[in-house]
Amino acid sequence: MSSSNSSIAKIRPQHTYVYCRCHLKCVLYTCYRGPNSGRQFYRCIYNRSEDDCNFFKWVDEQEESSYVTHYKLKASDQRIAEKLNLILLTMKVFAVMIFIDITIRVYFG
């Protein structure tokens, strides 16, 4: 951030929300240490947990155009779909393994 002290501040309307990659409303934090002390930022509601999507955005940063945000969300949805497909494939393989095990036990004793 620049070192000049501007009296003009970009204010985000109260009714506007910021959403993370999890498609959840972000939490607003304030930095209290270092050169960014007093600066506000948004984080994923799951900040510092296993489910954290690592979303981070300074409040005073310029907004991305909507088409950029749309493509980021679409890419995120595609990654989630790929993970779900992998989970489904794993479950199918596991079900086949169980079926084979049961079949072998029934016919061969």
Amino acid at 4: S
What are the φ and ψ backbone dihedral angles of 57, each rounded to 5 degrees? -155, 125
Q: Compute the distance between CA of residue 13 and CA of residue 4 in angstroms, rounded to an integer.
A: 24
* Residue 65 pLDDT > 90: no
Query: pLDDT of 15-49, one tens digit each?
Result: 477 888 888 888 899 999 999 999 999 998 888 88
Q: How many helices (H) and strands (E) does the chain have?
A: 1, 3
Q: Compute the distance between CA of residue 36 and CA of residue 54 in angstroms, rounded to an integer.
A: 19
Give the pLDDT confidence score for residue 64 in this predicted structure.
57
The residue that leads in pLDDT, 62 or 102, is 102
